[in-house]
Amino acid sequence: MSLLFHQHRMWTHHDVAGYSLMSPEECELIASQIPENAGPEFRVLEIGTYNGASAAHVLSKRPRISWLGIDIFRAEPAFATMCFLANRAKHKNLNCFIGSARQWLAWQGPAARADLVIVDGGHSEAECRDDLDVASQVSTTIICHDYGVRCFPGIVKAVDEFPGWRIVERERSAVLLQPEAMP
Ligand SMILES: C[S@@+](CC[C@H](N)C(=O)[O-])C[C@H]1O[C@@H](n2cnc3c(N)ncnc32)[C@H](O)[C@@H]1O
């Protein structure tokens, strides 16, 4: 198991391959941002999808939406990809871009958009800030994970100093961010 995961709690979810690094309550915050009857036009982007376990858990509640996980598969690559494929076998609308969020944005070009972006990739201040920057270019709703977790101080700094955005809701270490200009 990699060093990163020694810092995390883990959860298993029913009918999901691998373990999730998000609690059921944090997954519920994600689901609460997706209309119950949302279809494939609703796009979720998860920067740092790991084994797709949190994705599969939320997809079990919102089965028709489109979910794109982005990951460089730095952590436990064999286990993560194997579980991701198992989760994808159950949820055909779960896809993956292998690379960074910035590479995905360059590949997508100006058409890139998402209804919700989950930021849970690199956990340093610089990586989190860069992922927030990409997220803010494609969406007006961001959920950032591991906010306030003692061993990731860079995440609090990146979120609190991210210009023009504010925290509007918090569930454990998941914070929901929206532009300050939004009512
Ligand atoms: C904490 S795990 C994600 C957990 C997952 N969201 C969940 O809920 O179970 C972080 C993931 O981010 C990936 N990662 C690290 N740096 C990244 C980067 N710059 N771009 C994309 N993914 C990255 C790692 O490979 C790892 O799989």
Residue to substitute in 57, 68, 71 for testing ligand 1 pocket (most ligand atoms within 8 angstroms of CB): 71
Hey, what amino acid is at 169? E
CA 92 to the chain's CA centroid = 18
Listed in sequence order, the residues at least 6 apart from 150 whose beta carbon sits closer than 8 Å to its beta carbon are none
SS3 call for 96: strand
Tell me the CA–centroid distance for residue 67 and ligand 1, in Å.
15
For 40-76, the pLDDT digits (tens) are 999 999 999 999 999 999 999 999 999 999 999 998 9
Q: What are the residue ranges spanned by the domains of the chain?
A: 3-179
The fold of the 3-179 domain, in CATH, is Rossmann fold (3.40.50)
Residue-level length of the chain: 183
Is this prediction's pTM over 0.75? yes
| Residue 21 near ligand 1, beta carbon < 6 Å | yes
SS3 category, 165: strand
Distance in Å, CA 135 to ligand 1 centroid: 15
Find out whether the beta carbon of 122 lies less than 6 Å from any atom of ligand 1: yes
What average pLDDT does the chain have?
A: 95
Confidence of residue 6 (pLDDT cuts 50, 70, 90): low
Q: DSSP code of 20?
A: B
